[in-house]
Amino acid sequence: MEDYPSMKNYIGPNAKIIADPAFESALFKLETGTTLSSVEREAARRLRRNSDLVQIIEAASDVDLNGRKRAAIDLHNEIKKRAPSRVNTIQMYEDERWIPPTSVIVERFFSGMKCMIGYLRKSMDTTTLEVIMYLKLNWDLVSLGNVSQAIKLSKETEKDSPTA
């Protein structure tokens, strides 16, 4: 984003392609350990762990302290007070690192298209480029039979339509 500020409208946090900006923001804040707003908490509610599981995790962390000396416990409590609440945030929510941000997916897709098509894309018709991008993105949904059938249908349509 710093290199291409003009792309902010396309791949920024509030771009049109982002389906749920609050969810994207919540994911970012969960990864960085910052506090979520109420809107972000609501958007990330499906990522919350069961409260019983959170209590089990907290109890397990307390078990480690029982055998320590009093000074070690005091030191641990002092560090826990001063440390950011990132540990508690991670324990309250499922591990969200496997969810890539929408902008990353879009950047990878367009980079792949740029490498695949190259400078030909500049002189290409927009509908042709769109079809190629669709086929690249959904390659598992389209078979070679579907493509050949579409080509035949296209040729038949061209024969039937009057030319100017």
pLDDT, one tens digit for every residue, the chain (164 residues): 677 677 777 667 667 777 788 888 888 787 777 888 888 888 888 777 665 554 554 555 554 445 555 667 777 777 777 765 554 544 666 666 667 666 667 777 777 777 777 777 677 788 887 888 888 778 888 888 888 888 888 888 888 776 54
The two three-digit tokens of residue 151, written as one number: 């080509």
Domain hosting 129: range is: 102-160
d(CA 128, CA 122): 12
Is there a single domain that holds both residue 26 and residue 47?
Answer: yes
Is there a single domain that holds both residue 12 and residue 88?
Answer: yes
Does the global pTM surpass 0.85?
A: no
Number of structural domains the chain divides into = 2
